Structure 1
Amino acid sequence: MKSARSDDDLNDIGILFDLDGTLVDTAGDLVAATNHVLAHDGLPTLAVEHGRHMAGVSAKTMIDAAFRAAGRSLSAEDMPSRLERFLDYYTAHIDAHSALFPDARTTIEALKRCGAKLAVCTNKREALAIDLLERLHVVDMFETIVGGDTAMRPKPDPAPALLCLERLQVSNAVFIGDSDTDLCTAKAAALPFIAADFGYGPLDKLGPDAVTFSHYSALPSLINNAMGA
């Protein structure tokens, strides 16, 4: 029978965080970049609340979905110029509206004090992820940051998560995410999964025994339970 670790004992435990919708609320800036592309094509823009559910996917998927919502389909030939326009705008305005979710910073600090090794495992390009975390003054809290272009394949392939484990030099870890992509990544890497139910989703594949949290203050105890000795 497993016994939970004490709250101050997370030595040599890896904690892998998704970025968009899990650690940082980036929807405002991602929607703004998408709207910049839409406006350039003379199309109606998205309200943040309507574009929020698109924010957890790749830039290409987000652009494609936004164009479809505006009644226009993009061909394969149309996408590169729109993607470049999106990335140029997003890179220049990456932290205009983005912020850590409430109490994420204090929770991360507490986990580090307990001896945990922290990583970011995201499908955002690595350089953009590092830039965003630097601007939010938390980049130094993570031992490694693995982006969608870092490993051989992006999530939901297990390669990014496995690379995080290799870099952290841990065998025991937990994955924190907000979507089915994160859930499938965790399963493929044989890691327990804790779902942030306030993110962008979807989380349609969660089972009846899924572990979820609605506020970062609840996360440390859930991690301790998941990593019980």
Structure 2
Amino acid sequence: MSQPAIIFDLDGTLIDSAPAIHAVSNLELGVRGLPLLPLERVRGFVGRGVPHLVRCLLEASGQDPDGPLHAEVCESLLARYEHQLEGNTLYPRALDALHALKEAGHRLGLCTNKPLAPTRAVLEHLDIAPLFSSVIAGDSLATRKPNPEMLHQSIRQLGGTRAIYVGDSEVDAETAKTAGAPFALYTEGYRKTDVHALYHDVAFSNFAMLPGIVSRWHWHE
């Protein structure tokens, strides 16, 4: 029997991108004379895609979140984020886990609400792009997570067989539940809800644990 595919969320799961997103967000606010926001405030806006992020930034700055600035800031922030990549860092032991899973014969995929261009840019920046056989991003389909179609598409691209989804947030938990996919919850990411209140099959706090978790996964055939 072939090894299951392992599909990862990106922001808050494999990488801590909040410092980088915080930096470009404050640059966008600053050039428009809007008040800057602290890191923890911006961290709470991450995970539902750029349009949601920009709505939150504008609302927190006292602007109309769906007003004329929205499209302008989205376009400018995306362009900036493709090139200003400092502050994106892999979580501890995540790289080791990716290599271990790949060497064990698992196909690896990404399913992220981050748009494709900045996703590919950060994967190249962190030198992990070759590890992934499938990348489904926030603008790859007509819908975003928590709609399950992104995860379904990722599973199809990886062979349409067994797959485990690995994520960190309420959005990821809802996506996995709606898709009917096994879910491993990384507890050190961007979630706001208590672990026990989130849908998951297993939770882990250190990526050194993940290859062992996957190897012992019990499948109901």
With structure 2 as the length reference, what TM-score do the two structures score?
A: 0.90
1:35 aligns with 2:26: yes
Partner of 1:206: 198
1:147 aligned to which of 137, 142, 149: 137
Partner of 2:105: 115
Change (3 A) 1:54 1:74: closer
Are the counterparts in 2 of residues 11 and 114 from structure 1 also a CA contact under 8 Å? no
Unmatched segments (≥5 aa) in structure 1? 1-9
Q: Distance in 2 between matches of 1:203 and 1:92?
A: 32
Look up the SS of the partner of 1:226 in the other structure: coil
Shift of 1:72: 2.9
Deviates most, 148-157 or 137-146: 148-157
Amino acid paired to 2:56: A
Partner of 1:5: none
Partner of 1:98: 88
What are the equivalent positions in structure 2 for 1:44-123 lying under 5 Å apart? 44-93=35-84, 95-123=85-113
Change (3 A) 1:153 1:227: farther
Look up the SS of the partner of 1:194 in the other structure: strand
Are the counterparts in 2 of residues 16 and 176 from structure 1 also a CA contact under 8 Å? yes
Unmatched segments (≥5 aa) in structure 2? none
Percent identity of paired positions between Structure 1 and Structure 2? 31
Are the counterparts in 1 of residues 56 and 65 from structure 2 also a CA contact under 8 Å? no
Change (3 A) 1:20 1:154: same
With structure 1 as the length reference, what TM-score do the two structures score?
A: 0.87
RMSD: 1.9
Are the counterparts in 2 of residues 175 and 192 from structure 1 also a CA contact under 8 Å? yes
Q: Distance in 2 between matches of 1:121 and 1:195?
A: 14
1:166 aligns with 2:151: no
Amino acid paired to 2:79: D
Shift of 1:141: 0.6
Are the counterparts in 1 of residues 48 and 145 from structure 2 also a CA contact under 8 Å? no
1:226 aligns with 2:192: no
Amino acid paired to 1:120: L
Are the counterparts in 2 of residues 151 and 163 from structure 1 also a CA contact under 8 Å? no
Higher normalized contact order (CA 8 Å, seq sep 6+, divided by chain length):
1
Partner of 1:217: 208
Partner of 1:177: 167
Q: Distance in 1 between matches of 2:2 and 2:126?
A: 26
Number of residue pairs matched by the alignment: 218
Are the counterparts in 2 of residues 31 and 55 from structure 1 also a CA contact under 8 Å? no
Q: Distance in 2 between matches of 1:143 and 1:61?
A: 28
Q: Distance in 2 between matches of 1:88 and 1:41?
A: 16
Deviates most, 122-131 or 49-58: 49-58
Are the counterparts in 1 of residues 81 and 118 from structure 2 also a CA contact under 8 Å? no
Look up the SS of the partner of 1:175 in the other structure: strand
